[in-house]
Amino acid sequence: MEELIRNLLDSLGFLFQRLTWLSVVDLALVTLLFFAILRLLRDTQAVVVLRGVLVLVVLVSLLSNLDVLPAFGWLVRTTLPALLLAVPVIFAPEIRRALERLGRAGFLLRNEKANPGIQNTIRAVVTAATRLSDRRHGALIVMQRLDSLEEYVRTGVLLDARVTPELLLQVFFPNTPLHDGAAIISGSRLVAGACVMPLSASGVLTRSPERQMGLRHRAALGISETSDTVVVVVSEESGAISVVNDGRMIRRLDADRLENILLAFFRSSTQPISFRERLVDIFLGKPRPGGEAR
């Protein structure tokens, strides 16, 4: 036992003797890379797939190294390149999301000027969401920030009108032509209604109490996963108000909390942000306002 401890200490001493500042930087970069990948895959179906792939790789490695199974080992060595080529296909949505997040690096040095009408827009959205909640009228309101939503605007009906509570109430009145789909707001303008949003592929709703929610909430999660938008959802069944951003949902909000959260999101998007803070956000996928709850 003493000899084992002594050998362990000798090995650790040998490692520390060879450790330089370049080695520390190298290890830190590798750790940061793995952390960013795991952070990106968190709360997605890819985590389950990745777990299955790791188990399969371990089992196949153990079996292929057995001398009593030469044919199986040959088969594994032959098909391994094809399996590696299949990885980008399996993780295509996550790779696309990572490239989109990396593409936002163009905003590293960009400071947006404050929109003087954003507070009036937020008040109109809060008032409309509260009234819609009281009446149990479903709604999906997408509020644009930095990312362009032009491709989704083209799927709906162009409005280009000033945002008012009455206009939003009319848009989401049941059985009207604009009732189905999302309303897209940019600044102080209601750009379009009845827009088609992408559905979430993360599987968050299937593993949480929110799994009973319908297409509105899945669409809200979907557009928040592909852009930096802030989405307000009003449930048609329960009247509950939710806010969605970056694939995260805050549920059962009242008027005061809803207004504070929206102000925090849009105040942060107009305040100067340092290069370091932008870089951290891109790597970690962390939204600037805090306090989101799943």
Per-residue pLDDT tens for 78-87? 777 777 677 6
Asked whether 64 and 76 are in contact (CB, 8 A), the reply is yes
* Cα–Cα distance for residue pair 6/146, rounded to 1 Å: 58
Q: Are residues 144 and 219 in the same domain?
A: yes
Q: What is the pLDDT of residue 286?
A: 47
Is residue 133 domain-resident? yes
Q: What is the pLDDT of residue 242?
A: 94
Paired residues of 244 in beta bridges? 231, 249
Helix (H, G, I), strand (E, B), or coil: what is residue 216?
A: helix
Is residue 293 domain-resident? no
Q: Are residues 132 and 8 in the same domain?
A: no
Calculate the average pLDDT of the chain: 77
For residue range 199-242, list pLDDT tens digits in order.
886 666 655 555 556 889 999 998 988 888 999 999 998 899 99
Average pLDDT of the residues in 264-292: 50
Which pTM does this prediction carry?
Answer: 0.62
Q: What is the pLDDT of residue 174?
A: 92
Q: What is the pLDDT of residue 57?
A: 73
Q: Are residues 64 and 128 in the same domain?
A: no
Q: Are residues 217 and 124 in the same domain?
A: yes
Return the beta strands (E) in the chain as ranges. 139-143, 157-162, 182-186, 189-195, 230-234, 241-245, 248-250
Q: Are residues 99 and 162 in the same domain?
A: no
User: Which of 267, 242, 286 lies closest to 113, judged by CA?
Assistant: 267
- Using CA atoms in the order 183, 156, 204, 87, what is the torsion angle rounded to 10 degrees? -140
Domain with residue 202: its CATH number is 3.40.1700.10
Paired residues of 142 in beta bridges? 184, 231
Q: What is the pLDDT of residue 107?
A: 46
Q: How many CB atoms lie within 10 A of CB 137?
A: 18
Q: What is the pLDDT of residue 197?
A: 93
pLDDT at 189 over 50: yes
Q: Are residues 76 and 154 in the same domain?
A: no
pLDDT at 277 over 90: no
Is residue 122 domain-resident? yes
Half-sphere exposure of 266 (CA within 13 A, CB side): 24
pLDDT at 280 over 50: no
Domain with 61, as residue range(s), is: 2-107
Q: Which of 124-128, 143-147, 153-157 has the lowest mean pLDDT?
A: 143-147
* Contacts with 218 (C-beta within 8 Å, 6 or more apart), sequence order: 199, 200, 205
* Residue at 77: amino acid letter: R
Q: Are residues 128 and 222 in the same domain?
A: yes
pLDDT at 5 over 50: yes
* End position of a domain, from candidates 52, 77, 107: 107
Asked whether 187 and 121 are in contact (CB, 8 A), the reply is yes
Q: Are residues 137 and 77 in the same domain?
A: no
* Cα–Cα distance for residue pair 231/184, rounded to 1 Å: 9
Q: What is the pLDDT of residue 207?
A: 56
For residue range 163-187, list pLDDT tens digits in order.
999 999 999 999 888 988 999 999 8
Q: What is the pLDDT of residue 129?
A: 96
Q: Kindly indicate the confidence band of residue 190, based on its pLDDT and cuts at 50, 70 and 90.
A: very high
Q: Kindly indicate the confidence band of residue 294, based on its pLDDT and cuts at 50, 70 and 90.
A: very low
pLDDT at 195 over 70: yes
Q: Are residues 101 and 122 in the same domain?
A: no
* Sheet with 230-234, edge to edge strand ranges: 157-162, 189-195, 182-186, 139-143, 230-234, 241-245, 248-250
Q: Are residues 17 and 100 in the same domain?
A: yes
Q: Are residues 37 and 182 in the same domain?
A: no
* End position of a domain, from candidates 107, 128, 143: 107
Q: Kindly indicate the confidence band of residue 97, based on its pLDDT and cuts at 50, 70 and 90.
A: low
pLDDT at 15 over 80: no
Q: What is the pLDDT of residue 113?
A: 46
Unique residue bearing structure tokens 């362990």: 8
Q: What is the pLDDT of residue 136?
A: 93
Q: Are residues 161 and 59 in the same domain?
A: no
Domain count, the chain: 2
